[in-house]
Amino acid sequence: MPISETLPSVVAICISTGGIPKRPQMGEIFIFRQGLQGDGHHHEKHRRTEQAICLQDWELLAELKREGFPVGIGTIGENLTVKDLHVQKMSPGMVLKFTGGVILELTKERRPCYVLDSIHPRLKEAIVGRCGYYARVLKEGILSSGESMEVYSSESRTHPMEIAQNAL
């Protein structure tokens, strides 16, 4: 059972050939076990399946902008900018099931990357503890901006892989 009746949604899907910023994409994107089609994974740490996708709250980007940081969608390297998800309140093992069929499992909190210094010298420090989450892909498929998702608790009796298998 979903943990919330309010369905969060995807604001933007972002990719880059390597590094930041990532650019929002129009239309649909295929998500593989290794991450988004067309997204660069040049550094070894970005090739781990437990870090295939990174998510960030649209609301946090708006908050950082109000704090004076020059950020926008994709600026801090997120693949999925999401609305009404409250990523930082989530925990490893939580499952996101998108209306189009893609299923992700949250694995760990993201840490600020050193390249954020090029955006603003205090940005890296400002986003500690609110840098988003990494996720592994449990079910590949096509994802589109605007899709909503159901969120399943990590305390659920249903194992994340069972959720993915039942979606087939």
- Beta strand 103-109 with 133-139: parallel, antiparallel or unpaired? antiparallel
Q: What is the pLDDT of residue 162?
A: 59
Domain locations along the chain: 9-166
Q: What is the pLDDT of residue 156?
A: 60
- Phi and psi torsions of 163, nearest 5°: -60, -45
Q: What is the pLDDT of residue 24?
A: 94
Tokens linked to 130: 């609110």
Q: What is the pLDDT of residue 109?
A: 94
Tokens linked to 145: 């901006």
Q: What is the pLDDT of residue 17?
A: 84
One DSSP character per residue, 127-155 reads: TTT-S-EEEEEEE-EEEETT-BEEEE-TT
Instruction: Give residue-wise pLDDT tens across range 89-104.
Output: 999 999 999 999 999 9
- Paired strand residues for 142: 30
With beta carbons less than 8 A apart as the criterion, state whether 144 and 27 touch.
yes
Tell me the HSE value of 79 on the side-chain side, using a 13 A CA sphere.
Answer: 28
Instruction: Give residue-wise pLDDT tens across range 46-79.
Output: 567 889 999 999 999 999 999 999 999 999 999 9
- The stretches in the chain having pLDDT less than 70 are 1-6, 41-47, 155-168
Q: Which class is domain 9-166? A: mainly beta
In the chain, % of residues over pLDDT 90: 61
